Amino acid sequence: MSESSGGLDVDAMLTRFRERAHAVKQRPLPPVAGDERKAFIDQAKRDYMDFAIVGDAQWQLDDGVLTLRVDLRPKADS
């Protein structure tokens, strides 16, 4: 589905979120140790999850209302 509303290209926005999720995975660890290192890693995990969830969303635009639908059910093994 490719549509824009008032200059918003939703497909492009979701692509940017997928790109951000990938960038978080590629982000190098800064030269920190101990608690700072753990905090950095924990934040990277949260950032990845947030960006990946939005990037995987299906969207719908009805009467100017953008709805993102995210299926959080576990994927079935094939």
The dihedral of CA 49, 71, 56, 13: what is its sign? negative
Closest CA to 72 of 50, 53, 59: 53
Residue 78 above 70 pLDDT?
Answer: no
Secondary structure (3-state) at 49: helix
Task: Give per-residue pLDDT as tens, 19-52.
Answer: 999 999 999 988 889 999 999 999 999 999 999 9
Instruction: Give the closest residue to 25 by CA, choosing from 39, 11, 5, 44.
Output: 44
Q: Domain-by-domain residue ranges, the chain? A: 8-69
Residue 70: the pLDDT is 95
Q: Where are the beta strands (DSSP E) in 7-62?
A: 8-9, 58-62
